[in-house]
Amino acid sequence: MQPNIYTTGLLAIVLAGPALAEGSDLPSDLGGKLTRFGAIAVGNAEGTIPPYDGGLKVPAGLQPGDGSWPNPFEGEKPRLRITAANADQYAEQLSAGQMRLLKQYPDTYFMDIYPTHRTAAFPENFLAATQRNASDPDCKAMNDGLSISEACRGGLPFPLPKDGRQVMWNYILNYQGVNGWDWNHSAYVVNQGRPTLTNTNRSTGEKPFYQLDVSGRDPKIAQRIWSRIVAPARTAGQASGYWDYLDPVDNARYAWSYSTGQRRVRKAPEFAYDTPNSAFGGVAFYDEIFLFSGKMDRFDWKLLGKKEMFIPYSSYDLKWKCDMDTKLMEKHINPACERWELHRVWVVEATRKEGVRHAQKKRRYYIDEDTFGAALYDAWDDSGAMFRAGAQYNIQAYGMPNNPLQDSYSLYDFTRDQYGMFGNGPTRYRAAPVVEREANPQTIAGGQTR
């Protein structure tokens, strides 16, 4: 009888991860045994995770391109390859989704494990605000953890997280720059071995949470994203967006859409939870955008601990060296384009509440301790069968600004035997915040092609 991947994976977390004693870490530990943003400062005993030394050291002469960043580890060789044959040996460091891909496609899928580099680097104002939040009683969770206070603005809200919702707030608000970014966001879905471009759009994202000068804008906004579709031709000119708030209980997500046929901006309350996202060919729900997006109220969130995992890291080649024909194979992403490293992650499990509706019964998130990006994601249906698995691909966007960036991700839908790759193309940072009138849905819609 084949072992249940779900239960063995959970057992591995309990046995392998260090126990978390509530209150064991103190604000005074930040900048000492912990980094200033709350990660364990030392490396591991085996030497396969190095100590944190301030982040990426860019080789001399290496400069960002136009919306892209050259790989600072070009030419580095893998230290290990994991295949179906040796996957069980590394089961404690693999997610259920990774194990599924290795076992299901033994002839074509593998994972190359590269030396670990702790590349995350942050500006001083973010680090100072993060340390402030650790001891400021006004920076707190509210409404049973569904909301956080405005006093947390400017830094990671919970550098010493005590529960699953605090870890997820750190993910939702993880630092990726101050003024926002623009990218050509292309979504490809591979179905029956054929990749299809479902959507290319010019997208803009920002987190006003980190904009300390909020004159003229709503300081309650946590983040907002809006997109203008440019391809394929049948949907070009459409636009949509959503604003999420620090207190989603009293300020629900404001979502809107614009249709070229109707030439009207409409509110779109359905852009939430397990509504399929048509822009991604139905492979992603709206609350799976960037692996998680939206309100946490339909699940109970349990912090299982911290453990070492093989996660996507420094994915420069996947984003900019491998073109789409190379990157997208019949059943999975080309493993030669992926880079995996051993890092410590927070493990958070979400279980659907009794009496609420959602297509998935259980989810698990693996949140990188350095960047607080959601590195890996697994989901199961009511029968206990695997529903979806995902990965988020990070880089350190060095130069000016200098911060982590997680603007692309993949999702595998095992119920329909297809997968999608989202967030392909250049990314450009803005030198100044978005002008409010530019972020107005009516203004965005008015600039569309009809």
DSSP string covering 327-390: HB-SSSB-GGG--EEEEEEEEEEEEEPTT---S-SEEEEEEETTT--EEEEEEE-TTS-EEEEE
Architecture of the domain defined by 5-446: Clam (2.50)
**Which amino acid appears at position 339 of this protein?**
R
> Given the structure tokens 């852009």, which residue do they identify?
271
DSSP β-ladder status, 403-413 and 418-424: antiparallel
In this structure, are residues 300 and 286 in contact, taking their beta carbons and an 8 Å threshold?
no
> Which spans in 145-251 are helix H?
164-172
- Burial level of 439, CB count in 10 A (0-12/13-18/19+)? buried
Tens-digit pLDDT profile for residues 267-298: 999 999 999 998 888 899 999 999 999 999 99
Selection from 334, 361, 339, 284 nearest residue 109 by Cα: 334
Count other C-beta atoms under 10 Å from residue 295's C-beta. 17
Looking at 107-219, list the stretches that DSSP marks H as alpha helix, in order from N- to C-terminal side.
124-135, 164-172
Tell me how many degrees the CA angle 151-122-206 measures, rounded to the nearest 5: 60
What pLDDT sits at residue 414? Answer: 97
| Cα(139)–Cα(157) distance, integer angstroms | 7
- 336 in Cβ contact with 109 (< 8 Å): no
DSSP state of 320: I
pLDDT of residue 448: 54
Q: Report the 10 Å Cβ neighbour count for 148.
A: 26
Confidence at residue 434, expressed as pLDDT on a 0 to 100 scale: 85
Question: By CB neighbour count within 10 A (0-12 exposed, 13-18 middle, 19+ buried), where does 182 fall?
Answer: middle
Q: Alpha-carbon distance 208 to 127, whole Å?
A: 17
Tokens of 235: 């949907």
Query: For residue 273, which of 294, 255, 291 has the smallest C-alpha distance?
Result: 294
d(CA 177, CA 404): 8
In the chain, domain spans: 5-446
* HSE-up of residue 195 (Cα within 13 Å, Cβ side): 20
Q: How many residues in total does the chain contain?
A: 450
Query: DSSP readout, 45-103?
Result: TTSSSPPP-SS--PPTT----SS----TTTTPPPSEEE-TTTGGGGGGGS-HHHHHHHH
Task: Give the pLDDT of residue 268.
Answer: 94
Tokens of 186: 């292309």
68 Cβ neighbours under 8 A, 6+ residues apart: 319, 320, 426, 427
404 touches 371 (CB < 8 A): yes
Spatial separation of the C-alpha atoms in residues 190 and 194, rounded to whole Å: 5
pTM of the model: 0.94
Query: Which regions in the chain score pLDDT beneath 50?
Result: 1-22, 449-450
At residue 13, the pLDDT reads 43
